[in-house]
Structure 1
């Protein structure tokens, strides 16, 4: 059968096939826990800590997209949030669950091994959707799915925070259409502040800034090649 395209999802799945499947890569990526990757350290993003310290975020239900080994999910749980954390990699989720048990944060924290678009979640909406490094690993067509996810899962007045490769610092800056000719994301896509404002134009930007660098000895994670942004959903959207 050659004529299989009938729905928008059929088109998205077809376009997914133009890029290597992500799950095997991420399982290999997280398998070597001794690798020198700064975000393997069990500490939260400095911007997340800053939002909490300034009362820009208050405890509620949180959804962590692409949680990796759980460092931000565990911090949110410790801060009083009820957290659902999702990652495509079973290796990452197993590591995150170990860390949560060690931190005593398992009571109000659930991990889900799934695509962020297919995860079966216990709540219809969340007060916070947090993304540290998921968006910039999605192919361009999956921004459509990402925006639909936010529309479905982010509560009115809820907050959405994203951390992504910063244009001019790290990540591919090729135009979207070139990536399909190449068949690769070149390690991840770079975003500028204006691009984030445009993509998430239905949300109110509260803060968009470079991540503040922190030393390896700091209790916070911070590297200068990431861009951080905090948005709020209007009450009537």
Structure 2
């Protein structure tokens, strides 16, 4: 018999095993993918927050950066950027796009970062691919790495859009019964507010399309501030 669970981390790692991860290298190696997630343009919301405020510079940490389209926008805005992704293929693509961003191939919960705290933590599409129990780890990461007065920005699948690409709305318990995240988890605005209720909401809305930047109607975007 194996009785190896002696800590919360042991329990979280065991629960990770209930789910098969997406093959991210294959995902990013297909540069002709029909979904425009690999466009050179940054998220429209991030671009707007940088142009119009309240994001004004400092150190930024991007979680699940993919090929770097948002990381390079942050760099262009004057941020000192650390960007993390598990996929070597994604980061190889990012390296072809430019320099000046520190890219880290790692799990976001086990990355060795050069700074303890950041003025901005940004996530475009990472949270909605995490199993429910990893929200605990995610909140701990934010608590550890986001400075008081700093901002947390997010783009994630939106519930209720009816779009086949918008993720599942199944209850958390059903995901464990199925052993699948069904392509990602969709959130309602109120679910995000409850999840991040320790932060002050700055903006929470559907992502805008047709702005000249990356935008699809089945994502929610949110900006929170840590007091």
Cα distance in structure 2, aligned partners of 1:32 and 1:131: 22
Q: 2:191 maps to what in 1?
A: 195
Q: How far has the Cα of 1:21 moved from its partner?
A: 3.3
Matched, 1:142 2:134: yes
Q: 1:14 maps to what in 2?
A: 14
User: TM-score scaled to structure 2, two decimals?
Assistant: 0.96
Cα distance in structure 1, aligned partners of 2:153 and 2:19: 26
Correspondent of 1:162 among 154, 167, 174? 154
SS at match of 1:74: helix
Q: How far has the Cα of 1:37 moved from its partner?
A: 1.9
Q: 1:177 maps to what in 2?
A: 173
SS at match of 1:150: helix
SS at match of 2:61: strand
Counterparts of residues 42-61 of structure 1 (less than 5 Å): 42-61=40-59
Matched, 1:232 2:215: no
Counterparts of residues 98-117 of structure 1 (less than 5 Å): 98-100=96-98, 106-107=99-100, 109-117=101-109
SS at match of 1:205: strand
User: TM-score scaled to structure 1, two decimals?
Assistant: 0.92
SS at match of 2:107: coil
Q: CA RMSD in A?
A: 0.9
Paired positions, count: 223
Q: 1:211 maps to what in 2?
A: 207
Counterparts of residues 57-136 of structure 1 (less than 5 Å): 57-100=55-98, 106-107=99-100, 109-136=101-128
What are the ranges of 5 or more consecutive residues in structure 1 without an aligned counterpart? 101-105
Cα distance in structure 2, aligned partners of 1:117 and 1:214: 34
Q: How far has the Cα of 1:53 moved from its partner?
A: 1.5
